[in-house]
């Protein structure tokens, strides 16, 4: 089995590559190293079962060649991270819309099963107790960068779903909730690597807003295992799945938990949203996944809890 991973040098893509190689598969990793990092995949360079291609999903000829040479596609390449989206709105949109369109078009041309990672940002400001895949989206103006990201990923989902419905292409859509683990950087927003880095350096922990907003976190190892099980399950085709962790926690509590586990003397500093992102920025107050659908299909239950996640990130950063 030869698998193409777009975004293969990224945080999740590189872990997925490791797991597939461990299983004896071959991988092609396409990445333009905009947010992906060479260090994430350096250990597989030179292996006969791994090929790294430096390039963009916007290069249709390149994508055509790679898709023609693989058996299936994990489409992970995207502009991600709230901070990045706010800072580079145009590039983000182009990658997430035009890039995805190219990848789907080629998957269809060569009839290759494709899994696309979408996002819990799809639900926007919906603060339901548990967000179900069929729940409504509540989003703000598309002129706000955060919501334009949600719109772009919604278009990816529509593309995937329509290729399945209209053309019978085996597509699987996965809405990733907050995914964390080694190799993730805090440069583009991601809260846990940021808090850990601040705690390790004994710097103030920057909690945005009033810190009462909540999230659930899932370890990247649990996530990649589920992605593989999903693409290999025929009943995943034409469907969308939430994939996320358990244990809702507020950002203020998370800051304290991380300071404790690091054994740091860092203090919490509350930063207004306008200062942290941009004027008029809207956060999501709450984001809790309903994972019933994915549990039913592939028996998904996360094996690693929040403390294990935090400890892994601490170990990675200290290393």
Select which of 123, 149, 163, 208 is catalytic: 149
Distances (CA, A) of 238 to 20, 96, 174, 262: 23, 20, 11, 43
Which of 32, 120 has the CB closer to ligand UDP? 120
Please name the residue ranges forming H helices in 2-135: 11-22, 38-41, 60-68, 82-87, 89-93, 100-109
- CA dist 62 and 78 (Å) reads 17
Which of 16, 86 has the CB closer to ligand UDP? 86
DSSP secondary structure letter of residue 212: -
Which of 251, 298 has the CB closer to ligand UDP? 251
Does 149 qualify as catalytic in the annotation? yes
Closest distance of CB 113 from ligand UDP, Å = 28
* Burial (CB count <10 Å: 0-12, 13-18, 19+), residue 288: buried
Closest distance of CB 287 from ligand UDP, Å = 6
Which of 111, 141 has the CB closer to ligand UDP? 141
Distances (CA, A) of 193 to 1, 3, 172, 268, 273: 34, 29, 29, 15, 19
Which of 41, 139 has the CB closer to ligand UDP? 139
Closest distance of CB 262 from ligand UDP, Å = 15
Q: How many CB atoms lie within 10 A of CB 3?
A: 24
Closest distance of CB 213 from ligand UDP, Å = 4
Contact 307, 260 (CB under 8 A): no
Torsion, CA 260, CA 261, CA 267, CA 271, rounded to 10: -120
Which of 285, 307 has the CB closer to ligand UDP? 285
Closest distance of CB 314 from ligand UDP, Å = 16
Distances (CA, A) of 65 to 42, 55, 109, 172, 229: 23, 12, 11, 22, 26
The single residue listed with the structure tokens 């991973």 is: 5
Residues in contact with ligand UDP by the rule CB under 6 A = 82, 178, 189-191, 194, 206-208, 213, 215, 251, 283
Closest distance of CB 251 from ligand UDP, Å = 4
The single residue listed with the structure tokens 């993730």 is: 184
Please list the active-site residues: 149
């Amino acid at each position: 089995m030869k698998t193409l991973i777009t975004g293969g040098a990224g945080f999740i893509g590189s872990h997925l590559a490791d797991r597939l190689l461990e299983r004896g598969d071959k991988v092609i990793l396409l990445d333009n190293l905009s947010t992906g990092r060479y260090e994430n995949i350096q250990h597989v360079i030179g292996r006969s079962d791994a090929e790294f291609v430096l390039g963009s999903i916007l290069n249709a000829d390149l994508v055509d060649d790679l898709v023609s040479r693989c058996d299936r596609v994990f489409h992970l390449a995207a502009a991600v991270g709230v901070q990045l989206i706010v800072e580079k709105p145009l590039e983000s949109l182009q990658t997430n819309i035009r890039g995805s369109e190219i990848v789907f078009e080629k998957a269809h041309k060569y009839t290759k099963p494709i899994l696309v990672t979408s996002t819990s940002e799809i639900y926007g400001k919906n603060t339901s107790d548990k967000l179900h895949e069929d729940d409504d989206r509540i989003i703000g103006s598309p002129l706000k960068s955060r919501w334009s990201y949600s719109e772009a990923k919604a278009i990816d989902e529509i593309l995937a779903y329509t290729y399945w419905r209209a053309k019978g292409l085996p597509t699987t859509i996965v809405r990733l909730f907050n995914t964390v683990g080694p190799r993730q950087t805090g440069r583009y927003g991601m809260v846990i690597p940021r808090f850990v880095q601040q705690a390790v350096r004994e710097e103030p922990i920057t909690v945005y807003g009033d810190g009462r907003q909540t999230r659930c976190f899932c370890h990247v190892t649990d996530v990649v295992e589920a992605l593989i099980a999903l693409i290999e399950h025929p009943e995943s085709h034409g469907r969308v799945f939430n994939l996320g962790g358990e244990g809702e926690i507020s950002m203020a509590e998370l800051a304290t938990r991380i300071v404790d586990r690091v054994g740091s003397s860092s203090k919490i500093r509350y930063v207004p949203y306008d200062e942290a992102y941009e004027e008029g920025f809207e956060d999501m107050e709450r984001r809790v996944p309903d994972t019933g659908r994915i549990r039913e299909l592939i028996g998904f239950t996360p094996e690693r809890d929040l403390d294990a996640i935090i400890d892994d990130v601490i170990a990675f950063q200290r290393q």
